[in-house]
């Protein structure tokens, strides 16, 4: 059986989803995630290159998802966070291993590798980044 | 094999944070907690989160191993072997997922291995051979499992989750330990199996002990000691596969090894049996506390059945790398308890999940 019209898209996003590959403009110094091909600040003067982000950052904002989108029912309720990465870019992702009452703005977080979604029992398993609070902090 | 040129450049561990206590399981099945804890020597076991599987655990362990080894260029890894009896796919390697997640692609070989609880150590032997022959400069062997027991079965008290990754190769001056020798003992012994499509394994109950675990672990360990001339008293530590908290203690006794020498690597009582990871996490926990010059014997066991035994000598390089990655103990100590309902949901034990 052929499945998943999104296979090619999923495959192209592997570097981004597995390793937080974004981009950075060496002209103005701004980092982008997801990556950009043209710097919105510098336009033609921009010098964009690929950058792998360290996966370390701080919680910029958060919310609790109680009514999840389809495919995420088993995980709800779960916290979603906007992480301000050390390199500057902001990323939205799930926060794991943390009770919601312990989530705080400014708390240090680090990237983890988890299952994002499964396409039923026979389809592809999508893996990628989530975040957890940095232990001992 | 003479072990020339086969050393451990670094290693990494990973254990999920959640735990379920034996009491919480006995409550459901009406058993006596003290009898279970006494009989199995397991007080609690690790439970993977709903979005964790043997591939995500392998990636976390592999990344920790990369930090520990201090490998700057991941493309120097020429081989990755993923050993598991609970792979996420029946067909599609998890080794390639790990390779991508540590950016070791594309110039490398990779494969998934299965031999019940000893596929990870079989992977170490594969990497040893490839390093010794000069085929590769560095190679990684991983043991990772999120195994399941049938609800109500004794395995439900023991089947935990965890992973360990070992990077072999590079320069001996940078290595943390030297693998001096390895040998294996393998027979067709049907003590434990799982057919394709079956959710839970079948096992031979008491048959898993004497003719399976003890025969293979003791025979491989004795073979190693005979071939190297190393005696029980020459060893500083020993690590055995640990399907429960009792078998490895008994194995040490049968080999004349003091109980204290296996304690640093005996972690099943606190995280359960991590299957392919069990002996490798035990070895990692032992290396976490070992000093240069000390000798460790590590013997795995996989049902079906076989044991791989290793004689390992700790090198000076271990001190410089200590603390670069989280120690096994920090994973064991960092925990949060879940109740049986949450556990059943996380492990998808209800048919509708
Ligand atoms: Zn710019």
Of A52, A74, A113, the CB nearest to B60: A113
Interchain pair A19, B101: CB under 8 A: yes
Q: What is the model's pLDDT at position B43?
A: 94
Name the CATH superfamily housing domain B179-319. Answer: Thiolase/Chalcone synthase (3.40.47.10)
Which residue on chain B is closest to A111 by alpha carbon?
B60
- Residues A10-63: pLDDT tens digits? 999 999 999 999 999 999 999 999 999 999 999 999 999 999 999 999 999 999
All structural domains of chain B with their residue ranges: 7-175+333-346, 179-319
How far apart (Å, rounded) are the C-alpha atoms in residues A92 and B186? 50
Q: For residue B80, give the nearest of B168, B180, B146, B10 by alpha carbon.
A: B168
Q: What is the model's pLDDT at position A3?
A: 58
Question: What secondary structure, in 3-state letters, does B241-293 show?
Answer: CCCCCCHHHHHHHHCCCCHHHCHHHCCHHHHCECHHHHHHHHHHHHHHHCCCC
Q: What is the model's pLDDT at position B3?
A: 44
Q: What is the model's pLDDT at position B1?
A: 42
Evaluate if residue A135 carries a pLDDT over 80: no
Q: Of B44, B52, B85, B156, which residue is the catalytic one?
A: B85
All structural domains of chain A with their residue ranges: 7-133
Q: Which CATH class is domain B7-175+333-346?
A: alpha beta
Angle at B308 between CA B14 and CA B318, to 5 degrees: 50
Is the entire prediction scored with pTM above 0.90?
yes
Q: For residue B191, give the nearest of B243, B233, B236 by alpha carbon.
A: B243
Q: What is the model's pLDDT at position A70?
A: 85
Overall average pLDDT of the B156-162 stretch: 95
- Tell me which of B159 and B154 has the higher pLDDT: B159
Q: What is the model's pLDDT at position B2?
A: 45
**Active site includes B31?**
no
Tell me the average pLDDT of chain B.
94
**Active site includes B117?**
yes
- Residues A73-124: pLDDT tens digits? 888 899 999 999 999 999 999 999 988 899 999 999 999 999 999 988 899 9
* Domain boundaries A7-133, corresponding CATH code: 2.40.50.840
Interchain pair A114, B88: CB under 8 A: no
Interchain pair A75, B101: CB under 8 A: no
- Residues B118-137: pLDDT tens digits? 999 999 999 999 999 999 99
DSSP labels, B72-94: S-GGGEEEEEEE-SS-S-SSS-S
Evaluate if residue B70 carries a pLDDT over 60: yes
**Active site includes B181?**
no
């Amino acid at each position: 059986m052929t499945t998943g019209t999104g296979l090619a898209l999923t495959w192209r996003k592997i570097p981004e989803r597995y390793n937080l590959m974004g981009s950075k403009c060496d002209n103005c110094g701004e980092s982008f995630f997801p990556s950009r091909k043209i710097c919105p600040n510098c336009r033609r003067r921009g010098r964009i290159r690929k950058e792998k982000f360290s996966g370390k950052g701080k919680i910029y904002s958060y919310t609790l998802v109680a009514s999840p989108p389809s495919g995420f029912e088993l995980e709800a309720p779960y916290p979603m966070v906007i992480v301000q990465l050390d390199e500057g870019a902001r990323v939205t992702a799930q926060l794991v291993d943390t009770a919601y009452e312990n989530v705080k703005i400014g708390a240090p977080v680090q990237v983890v590798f988890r299952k994002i979604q499964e396409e039923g029992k026979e389809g592809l398993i999508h893996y990628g980044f989530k975040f957890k609070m940095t232990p001992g902090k | 094999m003479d072990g020339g040129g086969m050393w451990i450049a670094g290693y990494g561990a990973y254990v999920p944070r959640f735990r379920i206590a034996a009491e919480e399981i006995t409550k459901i099945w009406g058993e006596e907690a003290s009898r279970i804890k006494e009989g199995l020597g397991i007080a609690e076991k690790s439970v993977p989160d709903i979005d964790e599987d043997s591939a995500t655990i392998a990636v976390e362990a592999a990344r920790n191993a990369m930090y520990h080894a201090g490998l700057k260029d991941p493309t120097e890894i020429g081989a990755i072997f993923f050993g598991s009896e609970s792979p996420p796919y029946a067909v599609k390697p998890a080794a390639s997922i790990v390779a991508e997640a540590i950016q070791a692609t594309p110039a490398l070989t990779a494969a998934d291995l299965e031999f019940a609880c000893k596929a990870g150590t079989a992977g170490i032997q594969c990497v040893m051979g490839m390093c010794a022959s000069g085929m590769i400069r560095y190679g990684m062997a991983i043991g990772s499992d999120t195994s399941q027991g049938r609800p109500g079965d004794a395995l439900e008290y023991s089947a935990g989750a965890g992973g360990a990754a070992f990077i072999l190769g590079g320069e001996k001056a940078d290595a943390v330990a030297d693998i001096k020798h390895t040998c294996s003992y393998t027979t067709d012994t049907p003590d434990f199996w799982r057919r394709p499509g079956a959710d839970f394994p079948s096992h031979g109950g008491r048959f898993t002990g004497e003719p399976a675990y003890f025969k293979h672990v003791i025979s491989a360990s004795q073979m190693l000691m005979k071939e190297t001339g190393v005696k029980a008293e020459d060893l500083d530590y020993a690590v055995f596969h640990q399907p429960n908290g009792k078998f490895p203690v008994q194995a040490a006794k049968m080999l004349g090894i003091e109980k204290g020498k296996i304690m640093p690597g005996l972690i099943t009582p606190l995280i359960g049996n991590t299957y392919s990871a069990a002996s490798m996490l035990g070895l990692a926990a032992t290396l976490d506390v070992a000093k240069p010059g000390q000798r460790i014997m590590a013997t795995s066991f996989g049902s079906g059945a076989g044991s791989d035994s290793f004689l390992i000598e700790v090198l000076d390089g271990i001190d410089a790398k200590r603390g670069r990655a989280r120690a096994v103990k920090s994973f064991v100590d960092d925990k949060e308890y879940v109740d049986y309902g949450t556990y059943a949901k996380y492990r998808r034990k209800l048919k509708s999940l």
